[in-house]
Structure 1
Amino acid sequence: MTDLRATGAAETARLVTAGDLTARAVADAALDRIAAADPALNAFSVVLADAARAEADARDDQPGERGPLHGVPVAIKEELDVAGCVTTFGGEANSTPAAEDGEVVRRLRAAGAVIVGKTTMPEFGAWPYTESSSRGITRNPWDRTRTPGGSSGGTAAAVASGMVPVGIGGDGGGSIRIPSAMCGLFGLKPQRGRVTTSPHAHLWWALGTVGPLSRTVLDSALVYDVIRGSTPGDRFRAGESGSFVEAAGREPGRLRVGWSTKPVSVGVRPDPIHVRAVEDTARLLSELGHDVRQVDPRYPDPTAAFVPQFFAGLRAEADEVEHYERLERRTRETYRLGSWASPRVTEWAVRASEKVSVKANRVFQDVDVLLTPTTAHRPPRVGVIDGRGTVGSALQAMPAIAYVALWNVAGNPAASVPCGPAEDGLPVGVQLVGRTDDEVTLLSLSAQLERARPWPLTAPSAG
């Protein structure tokens, strides 16, 4: 009998399309796992049980050709519109359900996916830990005393625990890669503009992207090939790129890989476990035939470009909610502290992002891929920002974003690749950063690492 808890999106779609399983049986199994596991993890903000069963029945009755995600249960981060659900952004300030799906959700359904629910996030995705006053604390399925990271922490917990094979998150400063590293998942932040942000013109201006968190490289590639592509209303558009699924299935060839454990953020020191993970991965890549060398990336300082867009992004989303007074106290404090991030300042920061990108990409004059830690610290205990204000939360966030936020400013694709559990029993991830528009190289290289050093498909404590 198929163990659906550990079955990925690609294999689930194959089994349902072949008639070995029904979409309804897959949906029922996912909903049973959610009912059993979620009370201890708090990964879901809403479970769409009746709607998911009806959608699965429709998939089973569907005539003709079936899509690449046919019958696959998918979870959606709270910041994306799902028809009939309130888009809460992780809080209580909205009360009217969305009239229709956002474009990414529409594309998922068109490919045959079954939407089973929406996942927890810190309000507006402002912090790399999934904690809020309205939704409570989300826990890591590897160790429930630890955070799954954020801001896509609910999605990460849902996928790592085996509740769903794949889920959608967003990344405005590491929010796909950080929880992927902390939960043992593969998480690729795509090139800026690769995936539409419709119905919004952008997600935190030049910083934000949308994408999946998955247990395998192939599953990530499969979902990206479904949701990628711009709409006329998108402010940013990526360059040309080939099939992600094809990239995940081929050898990468011999690459020049530069590695560094130097953080972008001054004053942050990486945990020795993460340093060893980078060094071990560098050795493995060398054994696989790549030209691997230690480099100094000569990182530019992204602060002046990142901070205005962070504040402006939060303020823009807060300005759109129905009940401002219901926002968390910390969110309202952040809103006030960001009053200086005027439209003029924000546009200056977007232009500054372009200058940061030029400087950050100098490293790719000598290497094809950059290897770094994903985060500087191990997954902290839950409650890391509980009761803290804006400044205190920002200080707690620094070790999480020390390696990842630069690449939101620069726009480059970057992936967190699992290394398996460390001696403390918690997952470790390393970051692979690629040239502009070069997700395909990252997918090919990540898949090679996955074959050479397989990682657990679900958290051991999630069974």
Structure 2
Amino acid sequence: MSLWKKSLKELSDLVVSKEVKPSEVVEAFADRSSQIEPHIKSYVTDLTQQAVEEAKKKDEEIAKLESIPPLFGLPVAVKDNISTKGIRTTCSSKMLENYIPPFDATVVEKLKHQGYIITGKTNLDEFAMGSSTENSAFFTTKNPWDYSRVPGGSSGGSAAAVGAGIVPAALGSDTGGSIRQPAAFCGVVGLKPTYGRVSRYGLVAFASSLDQIGPITRTVEDSALLMNVISGKDPRDSTSADKEVPDFLSYIGKEIKGIKIGIPEEFFVEGLDSQIKETVLNAVKQLEKEGAEIVQVSMPTTKYAIEAYYIIAPSEASSNLARYDGVRYGYRTAEYSDLEEMYSKTRDEGFGAEVKRRIMLGTYSLSSGYYDAYYLKAQKVRTLIYQDFMDAFQKVDVLATPTTPDVAFKIGEKTEDPVQMYLSDIFTVSVNMAGLPGISIPCGFKDGLPVGLQLIGKPFDEGTLLQVAHYYERMNDFYKMFPGE
């Protein structure tokens, strides 16, 4: 079997046992990338050739190591809104087109400590605002299963790269579904950890109370492996939780007999494609046959999640993006007569249409006279959504839902209608609103395109999610399937 088809864990075992050199692994992915990357365009900054040179150095280093870390010499891609010291971090925006950070994000530091090799910075919707990667200021990444379709967003570049087999794993960020939705569209595994499980230090902020970094991988076991590395308390991030990090790999291979899986009726509503519904429910039936107990639950306030989310997230974006003013760093307009004109022209020229739309939505929601009617009310709804989840978790261990209402849509299909685009996240945003962990795993195909099953867990219970997801995964071979094979 080709090295590029192997999982991160399999590659780790081969490198640690010294059966394979890091350079052989990286070169296998570089060869695959040279064939596929020109078609899908997943990288904003492609570091594949540097990665090959770096891997040769790792070959020499490995001989001197007494113990080899599990990610040593293995290639991982990083979403381009996660800070990488000395490597351009653009957020796929003209505003930060030439920004080179002087520091690493905590997750990148942790990967470096393991001896990983970065293969590139992946494309995204500008400042992570979007569901299709069409809002990138540079280009649209294409879905590896069908080049005429979107890979999802905002972590579309990361999901497309892993889905195409040009890298075994990547980091993404998830504010309203931005790891899980593209993972579903590209037929890979996407895990959004509990809010606070993984440090956000070095993640360029979109909506600070919702953002979370997580892994996009080929297999559930690979997500567990990466979670072991990137999780934990960080003194530089006041929102990171001081919770003990379990060995997530210890949940892999556990039985699911007796685990209660909830089916929330509000997630199987009108607007959900009938074939997606059937595919997801068939996946749940498979788990039931293996001893899981299926429980119907109701979560009435989750139907308001999308409306509340599109008040809270833009409000926080409006506040976070106020720093891009042309004064300290980033893009500055070439011609202006005074300070005010410099501010307004810089922001007008530097931000794309979707980012401007969200800044205006957020600024309006926070403005005097509207704050109580919109932002405050949305925060109250958020509390009710969280309570709905907690009530459901009194009866069940995990919840099972579709990840998306349909498969990947065609490029350009929803760009004229922002509301239709926003509805792509209808099944994912409530998880962010409640700060819960969620995972999307492939569970079938519709018209040759991947379908995602979403599992939602209790706070800081990523372990049970990984346990159930892995059990389902090993009953099926979706993770072995590659586009065009």
**TM-score normalised by structure 1 residue count:** 0.91
Does residue 18 of structure 1 match 2:22? no
Q: 2:106 aligns with which of 103, 108, 125?
A: 103
Which residue identity is paired with 2:258? R
User: 1:46 is matched with which residue?
Assistant: 45
8 Å CA contact 1:201, 1:235 repeated in 2: no
Determine if the alignment matches structure 1 residue 80 to structure 2 residue 82: yes
1:213 partner letter? I
Shift of 1:355: 4.4
Q: Which residue of 430, 447, 450 maps to 1:406?
A: 430
- Tell me which residue corresponds to 2:452: 429
SS at match of 2:364: coil
Cα distance, 1:343 vs. partner? 9.6
Q: Is the 8 A contact 1:261 1:270 kept in 2?
A: no
Structure 1: gaps (5+ residues) = none
Helix, strand or coil at the partner of 2:171 = strand
Instruction: Report the CA distance between 1:133 and its aligned residue.
Output: 5.5
| Range 406-415 or range 329-338, more displaced | 329-338
Instruction: State the AA in 2 paired with 1:374.
Output: T
Residue in structure 1 matched with residue 164 of structure 2 by the alignment:
161
- Which runs of structure 2 are paired with 1:108-257 in the superposition (5 Å)? 108-132=111-135, 134-199=137-202, 204-238=207-241, 239-257=243-261
> How far, CA to CA, are the matches of 1:343 and 1:128 in structure 2?
27
Residue 393, structure 1, aligned to residue 418, structure 2: yes
Cα RMSD (Å) of the superposition?
2.3
Is 1:92 equivalent to 2:116 in the alignment? no
The answer to whether the Cα contact below 8 Å between 1:258 and 1:369 also exists between their aligned partners in 2 is: yes
**Within 5 A, what are the aligned runs for 1:271-286?**
271-286=273-288
**Residue 33 (structure 1) shift:** 1.8
Equivalents in 1 of 2:376, 2:22: separation in Å?
A: 46
The structure-2 alpha-carbon separation of the partners of 1:87 and 1:202, relative to structure 1 and needing over 3 Å to count, comes to closer
Is this contact kept in 1: 2:261–2:399, CA < 8 A? yes
Equivalent pair of 1:195/1:228 in contact (CA under 8 Å)? yes
After TM superposition, the structure 1 stretch with the greater mean CA deviation from structure 2, 358-367 or 209-218, is: 358-367
1:125-160: CA deviation from partner (whole Å, max 9, x where unpaired): 111111136322211111111111111111111001
Mean Cα deviation higher: 140-149 or 298-307: 298-307
Offset, 1:249: 3.3
User: By how many angstroms is 1:49 displaced?
Assistant: 3.2
Quick one: which amino acid aligns to residue 107 of structure 1?
A: K
**What is the letter of the counterpart of residue 480 of structure 2?**
L
Residue 30 of structure 1: how far off its partner (Å): 1.8
Cα displacement (A) at 1:74: 0.5
Out of 262, 267, 277, the residue aligned to residue 263 of structure 1 is: 267
Equivalent residue pairs, number: 453
**Change in CA separation of 1:235 and 1:349 when aligned onto 2, cut-off 3 Å:** farther
Kept after mapping to 2: 8 A contact 1:124/1:317: no
Alpha-carbon separation, structure 2, partners of 1:365 and 1:379: 34
Which letter does structure 2 place at the counterpart of 1:373? P
CA deviation profile, 1:344-378 (whole Å, cap 9, x unmatched) = 95688667644431233211111111111111122
Q: CA deviation at 1:313?
A: 3.6
Hey, what's the Cα distance between the residues in 2 that align with 1:421 and 1:201?
Answer: 34
Deviation at 1:393, TM superposition (A): 1.7
Q: Name the structure 2 match of 1:34.
A: 33
Provide structure 2 residue ranges, at least 5 long, that are not aligned to the other structure. 325-329, 332-346
Judged with a 3 Å threshold, the aligned counterparts in structure 2 of structure 1 residues 83 and 457 are, in CA distance, closer, same or farther, namely farther
Query: CA, structure 1 residues 207+54, in 2 after alignment: closer, same or farther (shift >3 Å)?
Result: same
Structure 2 distance, partners of 1:144, 1:293, is 39
Change (3 A) 1:126 1:97: same
Instruction: Mark the CA change 1:286 to 1:165 in structure 2 (over 3 Å): closer, same or farther.
Output: same
The equivalent residue for 1:445 is: 468
* CA 52–312 in structure 1, closer or farther in 2 if over 3 Å, else same: farther
Deviations 1:16-69 (A, max 9, x none): 222222112222222222222111111111111343234323322222222111
Letter in 1 for 2:26: A
Q: Which stretch of structure 1 is more off in the superposition, 121-130 or 309-318?
A: 309-318
User: TM-score, normalized by length of structure 2?
Assistant: 0.87
Question: In structure 2, do the counterparts of structure 1 residues 429 and 152 end up closer, same or farther at CA, with 3 Å as the change threshold?
Answer: same
Letter in 2 for 1:39: P
Q: Which has the larger radius of gyration?
A: 2
- Give the SS at the match of 2:295: strand
8 Å contact kept, 1:215–1:458: no
Q: Percent identity?
A: 32
Is contact 1:263–1:269 with CA below 8 Å preserved after alignment? no
| Alpha carbons 1:47, 1:116 under 8 Å: kept | yes
How far does residue 277 in structure 1 lie from its aligned partner after superposition? 1.5
Could you give the per-residue CA deviations for residues 391-443 of structure 1, whole angstroms, max 9, x where no partner exists?
x3233220x21111001000111111211323x11111111111122111111
Q: Is the 8 A contact 2:436 2:456 kept in 1?
A: yes
Partner of 2:343: none
Aligned-partner residue type, residue 435 of structure 1? K
Partner residue in 1 for 2:443: 419
Quickly say closer, same or farther: Cα 1:58–1:273, change in 2 above 3 A: same
Structural mapping, 1:313-328, within 5 Å: 313-321=316-324, 322-323=330-331, 324=347, 325-328=349-352
